[in-house]
Chain A
Amino acid sequence: MLWYKSWREVRNVMLAGMGAMAAACVLIVWNEKTTRWNADPQMSYVAYVWKSVYNSIGRDLFAMLAIILGSGGLLQEKARGTSGFTLSLPVSRLRIVLTRAAMGYVGVLAIAAVPVAVVPLASRYVGESYPVGQCAGFFFLWAGAGAVFYGLTFLVAHRIESEPVAVLIAVPLLMLYGAVLKLPWLARLRMFDLFSILNGEQMPFFNEGQHRLVGPLPWLALGIMLAIGAAFGRAAARRMEPLDF
């Protein structure tokens, strides 16, 4: 039942996030003609979707929601006064923290999955088509990079009691990480540039002309990102063990 508690904790943000992502995708698709005409009449529909969903609004919304989902946990419970009840349950702190971490990440995956369902369906409604395979590819990219966004915020939230402060610290940390990876001598670590992974830009698996994912996805890099996210979760749990509540 710890799953249930964690689900209830992330439910509102997750459902609101899914709703916001779905609304953003639908609005982008519905306004495609006006926006495309005003921006660049020559732009293909696929390029328009990529630029609007995977390279701006959708991507930014996803990153923000992954960070917000990561900002809960035992320290926030302490601030709310419910940690006494949680810690009196016959379960270890490790299990409490890891369950919350896993459930939050399920929320991240659910938000990342919204465009997979919404974009192709809405496209059909306006007489266009966007391949499900493209959406699925971006889902995996978002799942990998999202694990790091989420995991880092989760770790910060287990060091700082205030939810907003955890978010405010995680955002510049991630921006700093992105900036560092832009350094020329770190060019070979490009696969770990979270922001480029999210939209595929300048990546070998992305065709800049067609605005499509073309090559095999960087599964190793995505796996490492997942492992990093999991390590952040484990570190958060370890941080909780010696604390007094």
Chain B
Amino acid sequence: MIPERIIQTSALTKHYGSFGAVDRLNLSVRAERITGFLGRNGAGKSTTIKMLLGMVHPTSGSGTVLGCRIDDRRESIEIRRRVAYVGEEKGLYGYMTVAELIRFTRSFYTDWQPDVEKRLLAEYRLPPGRKVKALSKGMRTKLALLLALARRPALLILDEPTEGLDPVSIEELLQTLVTAPAQGTSVFFSSHQLSEVERVADDILMIDRGSAVLDMSLEQIRENYRRICFGFSTAAPPMESLRGVEKVRCEGRQVTIVASSNSEAIAQMGRERGAVDVRVLPLTLREIFLETVEERNRQDQQRHREREDALV
């Protein structure tokens, strides 16, 4: 039986020496949904995924995938039996041919679907007799996807799945992902292509510096996230911190607020403070992502500069 929350972590932490890759991460991923896992390079996405699959051992905290504990060796094998995974590197055995690698992978899973294998082999135009090392990066990505999609896994975890794919293949993959939940497969995928995520994801999980900074359904994001711009005739007055205000930027007579909810009340506050121009605009996922990570990026750069100055 598949639990309602297919992935759950509690204060999941991974440190490499003094560097904290994942920091007390709390995740809760719903079953039969497509969850987009977003974050900057080095935000901790791949480390989190590898911890879920038992490739990286957590420093502290706990987690479950499909109800199995990630830090238990036996349960971790059960997780890998029920999860299909395509890693960031797409590293496959170069010394095997495409057909040999398919045969090899098939032998580990009882849920293998030969008809899907045949269909994808034809769709992706993968030459069965060619050595994997002779395939282009895009073809290798397609082969890695075939190995994951030719099963009927309870959960599909993809780390940057569209990297190296041509537009047609990206489109085909996105179509495949969209239909997966209807067949009982939940999808958890990381990507830098926000437009792709926005097209297919039901839920969005954004992490930065190893911690979750956004965990919401795309529908909620679209409904609630707003950019509210106030124009004042004189210098902008200080803004009250209302519920839902994520970020406030003041530039002369202009005040821009990023709100995660409560946009009507925030707009009303602006009018009450004497704003002559009030605009409430929807935000795209890309804008939310940039707004969320931009400030932290600036802080990181500032800290880096300070460290370098201290060294000089």
Residues on A facing B (Cβ under 8 Å) = 1, 4-5, 8-9, 80-85, 87-92, 241-242, 244-245
Selected from B91, B96, B105, the residue in CB contact (under 8 A) with A84 is B91
Q: Which residues of A contact B144 (CB under 8 A)?
A: 85
Interface stretch of the complex, out of B72-80, B260-268, B282-290: B72-80
Q: Which residues of B contact A84 (CB under 8 A)?
A: 50, 55, 87-89, 91
Could you tell me the distance between the alpha carbons of A244 and B92 in the complex, rounded to whole angstroms? 19
Q: Which residues of A contact B95 (CB under 8 A)?
A: 8-9
Selected from A83, A92, A242, the residue in CB contact (under 8 A) with B57 is A242
Could you tell me the distance between the alpha carbons of A5 and B96 in the complex, rounded to whole angstroms? 9
Q: Which residues of B contact A80 (CB under 8 A)?
A: 91, 94
Task: Report 24 cross-chain contacts, Cβ distance below 8 Å, ordered by A residue.
Answer: A1-B104, A1-B107, A1-B108, A8-B93, A8-B96, A8-B100, A80-B94, A82-B91, A82-B92, A82-B93, A83-B91, A84-B89, A85-B91, A85-B92, A85-B144, A89-B80, A89-B108, A90-B80, A90-B109, A91-B77, A92-B73, A244-B50, A244-B57, A245-B55
8 Å CB interface, B62-111 against A: 73, 77-78, 80-81, 85, 87-89, 91-96, 100, 103-105, 107-109
Flag whether B278 is at the interface (Cβ < 8 A): no
Whether A88 pairs with B80 at a CB distance below 8 angstroms is yes
Interface centre among A83, A89, A245 (most CB of B within 10 A): A89
Whether A81 pairs with B89 at a CB distance below 8 angstroms is yes
Could you tell me the distance between the alpha carbons of A244 and B50 in the complex, rounded to whole angstroms? 9
- What is the count of residue pairs linking A and B with beta-carbon distances less than 8 angstroms? 64
Could you tell me the distance between the alpha carbons of A82 and B77 in the complex, rounded to whole angstroms? 18
Selected from A85, A92, A245, the residue in CB contact (under 8 A) with B56 is A245
**How far, in Å, is B68 (CB) from chain A's closest CB?**
11
Could you tell me the distance between the alpha carbons of A85 and B144 in the complex, rounded to whole angstroms? 9
Selected from A81, A85, A90, A245, the residue in CB contact (under 8 A) with B50 is A245
A interface: dominant SS: loop
Whether B91 pairs with A88 at a CB distance below 8 angstroms is no
Sample of 11 more A-B contacts, CB < 8 Å, known A1-B107, A87-B54: A8-B96, A81-B91, A84-B55, A85-B92, A87-B53, A89-B105, A89-B108, A90-B78, A90-B81, A91-B77, A244-B16
Nearest to A95 among chain B residues (CB) is B77
Q: Which residues of A contact B91 (CB under 8 A)?
A: 80-85
With contact pairs A82-B93, A85-B93, A242-B57 given, residues A91 and B50 touching in the complex (Cβ less than 8 Å): no
Could you tell me the distance between the alpha carbons of A87 and B49 in the complex, rounded to whole angstroms? 13
Could you tell me the distance between the alpha carbons of A82 and B54 in the complex, rounded to whole angstroms? 16
Range, interface on chain B:
20 to 34
Selected from B93, B100, B108, the residue in CB contact (under 8 A) with A91 is B108
Q: Which residues of B contact A81 (CB under 8 A)?
A: 89, 91
Nearest to B103 among chain A residues (CB) is A1
Q: Which residues of A contact B54 (CB under 8 A)?
A: 87
Of all A-B residue pairs in the complex, the 5 with the closest CB atoms, nearest first, are A81-B91, A90-B81, A1-B107, A84-B87, A82-B91
Q: Which residues of B contact A82 (CB under 8 A)?
A: 91-94
Q: Which residues of A contact B85 (CB under 8 A)?
A: 88
Nearest to B144 among chain A residues (CB) is A85
With contact pairs A80-B91, A88-B87 given, residues A244 and B78 touching in the complex (Cβ less than 8 Å): no
Nearest to B81 among chain A residues (CB) is A90
Could you tell me the distance between the alpha carbons of A85 and B50 in the complex, rounded to whole angstroms? 11
Nearest to A82 among chain B residues (CB) is B91
Could you tell me the distance between the alpha carbons of A90 and B81 in the complex, rounded to whole angstroms? 5
**How far, in Å, is B50 (CB) from chain A's closest CB?**
7
**How far, in Å, is B25 (CB) from chain A's closest CB?**
16
**How far, in Å, is B141 (CB) from chain A's closest CB?**
13
With contact pairs A5-B104, A85-B91 given, residues A244 and B80 touching in the complex (Cβ less than 8 Å): no
8 Å CB interface, B8-26 against A: 16
Could you tell me the distance between the alpha carbons of A89 and B76 in the complex, rounded to whole angstroms? 10
Could you tell me the distance between the alpha carbons of A228 and B205 in the complex, rounded to whole angstroms? 50
Whether B56 pairs with A90 at a CB distance below 8 angstroms is no
**How far, in Å, is A163 (CB) from chain B's closest CB?**
15
Nearest to A94 among chain B residues (CB) is B73
Nearest to B76 among chain A residues (CB) is A92
Whether B55 pairs with A87 at a CB distance below 8 angstroms is yes
Q: Which residues of A contact B56 (CB under 8 A)?
A: 244-245
**How far, in Å, is A230 (CB) from chain B's closest CB?**
21
Whether B55 pairs with A90 at a CB distance below 8 angstroms is no
Could you tell me the distance between the alpha carbons of A85 and B95 in the complex, rounded to whole angstroms? 14
**How far, in Å, is B147 (CB) from chain A's closest CB?**
8
**How far, in Å, is A74 (CB) from chain B's closest CB?**
11
Q: Which residues of B contact A87 (CB under 8 A)?
A: 53-55
